[in-house]
Chain A
Amino acid sequence: MNLNILLILPALTALGIMLAPGNKAAKSVALSGAVAQLVAACYLLYAYAGQRSAGVGGQMLFQERHQWFPSLNIQYNIGVDGISIAMIMLTAVVVLAGILVSWSVQKQVKEFFFLIAFLSLGAYGFFISLDLFAMFFFLEIAVIPKFLLIGIWGSGRKEYSAMKLALMLMGGSALVLTGLLALYFYSDTGNGLHTFDLQLIAAMHLPLQVQLYIFPFLFVGFGVFTALFPFHTWAPDGHSSAPTAASMFLAGISMKLGGYGCLRVAAYLMPEAAHHYSWIIITLSTIAILYGAFATLMQTDLKYINAYSSVSHCGFVIFGIGMLTRTAITGAVLQMVSHGLMTALFFAAIGMIYERTHTRQLRELGGLLKVIPVIMTVFVIAGLCSLGLPGLSGFVAEMTVFVGGWQNSDLFYRVTTILACSSIVVTAVYILRAVGAAAMGPVKNEQFLSFRDAMWNERLAAVLLIVGILIIGIAPFLLNDLIAPDTKIIINNLTRAVAGN
């Protein structure tokens, strides 16, 4: 399959939205574009699985390479492995769901859907790039649309949140930029040229001293995107001020860009440094997990609850990567996909509630299960997935991370694993409390009785995400089989590094 389709489709969608004669047409273009993207992503999955089962080897499939700026040896180099396909599927699902729930956007409709299409372009591009320059290009593409989405269509302290998010993410990408340039100049292809090629650099084995310098830049830089403590502060404000679709995209996909980058660029390219800094990564992510969970306890705004819990859940991604065992890294990838779906579902449900009640404060809500049962069921499912109910994806992912963490026999790793495990209890507290306050009890406000339950578009979006959650929850081996060869490659690189020392 030609991977360029994943870039052409969103670009065409964006163009079509711009040229569409009216708001309604723009929406239809956006929706059909998103459906086409999902179809393309599914076909990609099918083609990939077909190739793999036919025994096609090689780390990356469907690879394509063109010279971009030959004098600097910058190439347009794309290809996918199981991990990127999982991410692409996630993106396609979340974008489609996001567009469905935004059907009722009234203000500057064209611009809204244009920016969403643009965002998805950045995400697809990031996940298929094998050249660090292109990867950085797509990483940065996604920053500004978020700023505009939050600033124009957001709520609450939107200007502040938008600015904070844009600046912190830019700060992260500034660190990434420095790290990438350093990698570039320390790479040597043997003919006097430097390279941004991911696979070539991975095969090169940079000297330890160099790795130790570069690793923090890249890991922290990507870490900012995935709300690594103490650089997580953009996430709660950004998520809660953003309009629903943007929140879904931000928490569902954008934070995964960081996790993917930490894994693909930082840990994979600099395995020795990853071992060296492992304890710092684990410490920071354990703090993020616990701090995020306890901070959520204090929140009374539904969006803030999910935003802080995202900090906690994304901590598991970093935690899994930092553990450097195969199971833990598999868990990290599972968690990325699972959290992407779950948080998107959560934000979608919150958005639907907010659209009707015009408040997200827990104390003003109550008894909603009686008036809008479908929406509240979705809300409860998202909550249960978040607290790790078996049968849903959250349980599988977190369990895998914990098992992987425990595989390290070192005392430090085991203690931190226990600490991270304990956050589940806290999660249960805040989720059950939120569900109890919003869904159960007497109907707080008479106006609530006049609410209409979920519309077709909202139901469709919820079904889409719930199906994803259930598939991973019930048949995790499907996703596991998809990513297994690739986690193995990463782990081989990591263990070879240890053996080398």
Chain B
Amino acid sequence: MLPELGLTLIIFIVLFLKVTEAVKSPATLLNIIISLLVINCVLPFFGKADAMLFNGMFHTSQALFFEKALLNLGTLIISLFSFEWLKRHAHMPEFFVLMLSTLLGMHFMISSGNFLMFYLGLELSGIPLAAMANYNLHERRSSEAAVKMILSSAFASAMLLFGISMLYGTTGTLDFNELAPLLRSASHLQVLAFLFVFAGFAFKLSAVPFHFWTADVYEGAPVGVTAYLSVISKASVVFIFITILFKLFANFSGLYAHVLTLSILLTIAVGNLFALRQQNMKRFLAFSSIAQMGYILLGISSGTNIGAASAIFFLLVYTFSNLGIFGVVGMVSLRSGKERIDDYKGFYQHNKFASWVLAICLFSLAGIPPTAGFFGKMFLVTAGASKGNFPLITFAALNMVVSLYYYLRVIKAVFIDDNPHPLQHLKSGYPARLALIICMAGVIVTGFVSGLFDHIILLTGK
């Protein structure tokens, strides 16, 4: 419980600071909050593993601690590069209260051992997100994003709940350990329940055909929130998805292999095809993240321990690479108000460091060595190939070429295209630069720390 208690404490400290107005300067307040978040990153490593609470509703393990640390780290990076934006915002402390509440929800969700706890965590992590999406209070696009977010999120929850209720109806329990042996693919009602649960998750993961909300919400929300949505929120859902799929629906492996295969094909294809033509950087990243999700599902579809580990490893890499890109996009958007890919033409002329971060992170997403993204993709594809489904692997491999095209489009704009009026040098505060450095170091180093992947396999194997 240590990470959760720590988070709750931080939420209360932030609330207290806000209410008493003890700290006048927003920069100081932000510094305090960020130092708290740094402590928060380390906390999971001191938790007691393999413990249980509330009759098995909540359990912990080394793997979960690793996942929580990953979520916390991502949140810290986002807070760092949103520093400038938040500093000027009138409701900065509330932003952290909302964000940390969702983070707390995610912690509960991935630690859950019971559908009730799972649902509680899911809602706690979902509803404040809509408020965060609307954090540019006077922008209509943000409000639209928030409404879309809350409606689609409610719809997904309804689907999940319907599936869960069917599971409860057929078995009379919501506890994961008790449910697992009772579920078998012979029962039609349970197959239906599986499909509903899967659809609910697909919504949250924005897997095709449940991806429609993604691009609009990403475009409308402030960059920091978009980053949070596309990395932290998704990562947490993937973690619990792996648990539920492997633990509860192990007997459905024939069925879920088919469903997943279909979903992977669609997700990769649609994500890639739509990303090709996007002009807005955030929409572009939305579709690219949909395509990336397809690859994560490819790893998961193997149903093996290595598949789960490769998904977690990839999410770590994905956190660094995607947040690096969002860091640059956020900086550009805040300083110049520009978000189109064309605006990045000639960006390299005056912003060398930011350009290299952008390029390295994009290469990582495209899976180009020696960035960590190469290793992440390789492990996912290797895990996916273990089932011998080589047409699917060929499809995924060839789609990497398509994805390379649109990543290179951005690289081309930044490094190659001529622009008589390129963006001038954009100042970035030290927190934003620190965030970019962390991301770049992560992208470069993670792949070469060969022990890391084996460590994750060891953790998930327990």
Contacts and interface: CB of A to CB of B under 8 A. Distances in A.
A140 B369 contact: yes
A133 interface: yes
B60 to A, nearest CB: 24
B370 A167 contact: no
A185 B398 contact: no
Nearest to A174: B397
Given A72-B382, A175-B397, A163 B412 contact: yes
A72 B306 CA distance: 9
A178 B368 contact: no
A500 interface: no
A174 B370 CA distance: 16
Given A72-B306, A174-B401, A163 B454 contact: no
Interface string B223-259: 0000000000000000000000000000000000000
A151 B415 contact: yes
Contacts of B390: 178, 181-182
Contacts of A138: 369
Contacts of B401: 167, 170-171, 174
Interface string B390-419: 100110011011001100100110011100
Q: Which of A138, A144, A158, A170 has the most CB atoms of chain B within a 10 A radius of its CB? A: A170
B382 A184 contact: yes
Interface residues of A, number: 34
B363 interface: yes
Interface in B284-311: 306, 309
A69 B417 CA distance: 40
A453 interface: no
Main secondary structure of the interface of A (DSSP, over half): helix
Interface stretch (B23-31, B148-156, B204-212, B373-381): B373-381
Given A71-B306, A141-B370, A178-B390, A167 B405 contact: yes
B55 interface: no
Contacts of B369: 137-138, 140-141
Interface in B414-453: 415-417, 450, 453
Contacts of A175: 394, 397
Contacts of B400: 170, 174
A178 B394 contact: yes
A107 to B, nearest CB: 11
A67 B454 CA distance: 11
A185 B363 contact: no
A124 interface: no
A162 B382 contact: no
Nearest to B400: A174
B370 A137 contact: yes
Interface residues of B, number: 33
A148 B405 contact: no
B449 to A, nearest CB: 11
Interface in A135-193: 137-138, 140-141, 143-144, 147-148, 151-152, 158-159, 162-163, 166-167, 170-171, 174-175, 177-178, 181-182, 184-185
A174 B393 CA distance: 10
A177 B453 CA distance: 20
Q: Which of A138, A152, A181, A185 has the most CB atoms of chain B within a 10 A radius of its CB? A: A181
A68 interface: yes
Interface string A100-120: 000000000000000000000
Contacts of B394: 174-175, 178, 217
Contacts of B397: 174-175, 177-178
Nearest to A217: B394
A310 B384 CA distance: 38
A167 B406 CA distance: 11
A58 interface: no
B370 to A, nearest CB: 6
B93 to A, nearest CB: 41
Given A178-B394, A182-B385, A72 B379 contact: yes
Contacts of B309: 71
Interface in A398-431: none
A21 interface: no
Contacts of A143: 368
Contacts of A57: none
B97 interface: no
Contacts of A152: 415-416
A297 B411 CA distance: 36
A184 B388 CA distance: 11
B386 interface: yes
A181 to B, nearest CB: 4
A11 B274 CA distance: 38
Contacts of A158: 416
A70 interface: yes
A151 to B, nearest CB: 4
A181 B368 contact: no
B82 to A, nearest CB: 30
Contacts of A67: 450
Interface in B38-64: none
Contacts of A148: 411, 415-416
B98 interface: no
B378 A163 contact: no
B269 interface: no
B412 A159 contact: yes
Given A167-B405, A185-B388, A144 B454 contact: no
Nearest to A154: B416
B394 to A, nearest CB: 5
In the A-B complex, the 5 residue pairs with the closest CB atoms: A174-B397, A151-B416, A181-B385, A170-B401, A178-B394
Interface of A: 67-72, 133, 137-138, 140-141, 143-144, 147-148, 151-152, 158-159, 162-163, 166-167, 170-171, 174-175, 177-178, 181-182, 184-185, 217
Interface of B: 306, 309, 363, 368-370, 374, 378-379, 381-382, 385-386, 388, 390, 393-394, 397-398, 400-401, 404-405, 408, 411-412, 415-417, 450, 453-454, 457
Given A148-B416, A159-B416, A170-B401, 20 more contacts: A69-B453, A71-B306, A71-B309, A137-B374, A138-B369, A140-B368, A141-B369, A159-B412, A159-B417, A163-B405, A163-B412, A167-B404, A171-B398, A174-B400, A178-B390, A178-B393, A181-B381, A181-B382, A185-B386, A217-B394
16 contacts: A71-B309, A71-B457, A140-B369, A141-B368, A141-B369, A151-B415, A152-B415, A152-B416, A159-B417, A166-B404, A167-B401, A167-B408, A171-B401, A178-B394, A182-B390, A184-B382
